[in-house]
Amino acid sequence: MDRLDVIQLFVRVADTGSFSKAARETGVGQPTVSKQIAALEARLGAQLVRRTSRGLSLTSAGHDFYESAVRLIGDMEAAESRIGRGQIAPAGRVRVALSPGFGRMYVVPLLPEFFARYPDLSIDLDVSDRHVSLVEDGIDIAIRMGRLQDSSLVARRIGSFEAMTVAAPAYLERRGTPQTPADLAGHDCVTFMFHGAPWGWEFTTPSGPLIFTPNGPVRANDAEHVRAAVLAGLGIAHASSWLFADAIASGAVKRLLGAYLPPPYPIHAVTPSGRRTPNKVKVFADFLAEIFANEETLRIR
């Protein structure tokens, strides 16, 4: 490894708090990570990392060196971005975190066009409905649906979506059509589970916002299984518009309770704070924003 590679490796160790995580992310063995950090400490003449039975932490010198290392890497990435915008096409690997259903339906189908524009880029998809830690998991950019909870991230709005209540015609013929959110208590609901708990259904009523906790025979922690259950006539769901856009257009499901639906939710591209965004990450966010702007289901409202 050259000197810059070792400095980048040290930053990953500091960010993840783990030699093994840094090793997995960089594709080298843990002994190599330990050896390189030890060599860096020997060259600097100072201990950077304090190793304990419970993990590791940075020493005072380590914190000082970390701040300088982050600035150095940021300056290098900024220089590469300036040159990349003017002369050299962006290159490298972009690690993207996103949810399974949205990734399969709306991002993966776009990748051929993206790679046609940027043939020197590659994409790693970290697919999960959980909100990963961008720094600890080495994620360059995450696509987050809905209102953001973590204010420490740098967020760029690239789209939006609506929530909608839907059911298959066969279910409505069998059980009737709810006219108000209160009527849902008497219906079978297909429930999306998030972190082991039912995801509440948000409605707007004359008396203010209402959160309904669904109940029914089918619960799933994957959006596409919620979709499949609704199409099978198993119940009513309250889900993202992008999940059922084609089914609504074809008549396979019907929209319900339209007068009670909440305002649109944002779609954000989020990146770690405190660092300049590399050009390879910026062009990926730019690409998604451009495509979503022309997609009726995803454009910013």
β-strand pairing of 141-145 with 92-98: parallel
Q: Which CATH number do you get for residue 57?
A: 1.10.10.10
How many whole angstroms from its chain centre is CA 95? 10
**60 and 110 part of one domain:** no
In a domain, 274, yes or no: yes
Per the domain annotation, does 299 fall within a domain?
no
Domain assignment present for 76: yes
> Domain check: are 99 and 125 in the same one?
yes
pLDDT for position 1: 67
Q: Are residues 278 and 152 in the same domain?
A: yes
What tokens does 225 get?
Answer: 């299984």
Of 59, 85, 111, which residue constitutes the final position of a domain? Answer: 85
Say if residue 167 is in the same domain as residue 251.
yes
- Note down the domain range covering 25: 3-85
Extract the tokens encoding 108.
């993966």
DSSP reduced 3-state for 157: strand
Task: Report the pLDDT value the prediction gives residue 91, as an integer from 0 to 100.
Answer: 85
pLDDT of residue 81: 59
Q: Both 48 and 95 in a single domain?
A: no
Residues 175 and 256 both lie in one domain = yes
Give a yes or no: residue 301 inside a domain.
no
Pair (175, 242) in one structural domain = yes
For residues 300 and 157, the answer to whether their CB atoms sit within 8 Å is yes
Q: Looking at the structure, do residues 191 and 230 belong to the same domain, yes or no?
A: yes
Does 138 share its domain with 274?
yes
Burial track 163-178 (b if 16+ CB lie within 10 A, e otherwise): bbbbbbeebbeeeeeb
Position 35 in a domain: yes
**300 in a structural domain:** no
Other Cβ atoms closer than 10 A to 241: 20
Domain of 190, CATH number, reads 3.40.190.10
- Which pLDDT score is estimated for 233? 97
The rounded average pLDDT for each run of 10 residues, N- to C-terminus, in the chain (301 residues) is 84 83 81 88 89 79 85 73 61 92 94 94 90 81 86 86 96 96 96 90 93 94 95 97 95 96 93 80 94 92 87
Number of domains into which the chain is organized: 3
Classify strands 218-220 and 154-161 as parallel, antiparallel or unpaired. Answer: unpaired
- What pairing do the DSSP bridges indicate for beta strands 190-194 and 154-161? unpaired
What's the confidence (pLDDT) of residue 135? Answer: 77
- Asked if residue 154 and residue 19 are part of one domain, the reply reads no
CA 233 to chain centre: 30
Assess whether 250 and 170 both reside in one domain: yes
Q: Are residues 220 and 248 in the same domain?
A: yes
Domain-embedded: residue 298: no
For the entire predicted model, the pTM comes to: 0.73
Question: Per the domain annotation, does 43 fall within a domain?
Answer: yes
